[in-house]
């Protein structure tokens, strides 16, 4: 029974991604990175270094994906690229030091981006 429910949830998630607008996909990426960073903080609290590393890398991978989708013809994209690059650098430091304060810094930045996009989507 559990497998059927898990499979149904996976299908639901996949359909949500496949049918989402570009703005919604961006918000989902921000939410995913934030989720993994929160998981990393819990893993650090539990002294589970392996999981902390895993979740920090997952968040970095999402940020790399955000970087890859930027249209560099626009100045704002260059600015965003620099900010995303900074986030990846800081998360590398957080991973080395297992520093939750750095993780909180990046969660705050990502939350700000997510909130901005959510507001922008309501204006369209």
Predicted confidence (pLDDT) per residue in 52-83, tens digit: 999 999 999 999 999 999 999 999 999 999 99
- Whether residue 98 is contained in a domain is answered as yes
Give residue 15's pLDDT band: very low, low, confident or very high (50, 70, 90): low
- Whether residue 8 is contained in a domain is answered as no
- Whether residue 14 is contained in a domain is answered as no
- Whether residue 4 is contained in a domain is answered as no
pTM of the model: 0.84
How many domains is the chain built from?
A: 1
> Residue 97 sits in a domain of what CATH number?
1.20.120.340
- Whether residue 16 is contained in a domain is answered as no
Please, are residues 78 and 32 in contact by the beta-carbon 8 Å criterion? no
Give the structural domain span for 71.
21-123
């Amino acid at each position: 029974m559990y497998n059927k429910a898990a499979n149904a949830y996976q299908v639901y998630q996949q359909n949500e991604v496949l049918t989402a607008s570009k703005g919604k996909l961006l918000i989902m990426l921000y939410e995913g990175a934030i989720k993994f960073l929160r998981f990393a903080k819990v893993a650090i609290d539990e002294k589970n270094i392996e999981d902390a590393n895993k979740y920090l890398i997952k968040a970095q991978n999402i940020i790399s994906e955000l970087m890859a989708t930027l249209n560099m013809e626009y100045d704002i994209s260059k600015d965003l690229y620099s900010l995303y690059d900074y986030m990846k650098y800081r998360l590398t430091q957080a991973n080395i030091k297992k520093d939750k304060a750095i993780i909180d810094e990046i969660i705050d930045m990502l939350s700000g981006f997510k909130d901005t996009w959510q507001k922008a989507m309501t204006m369209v």
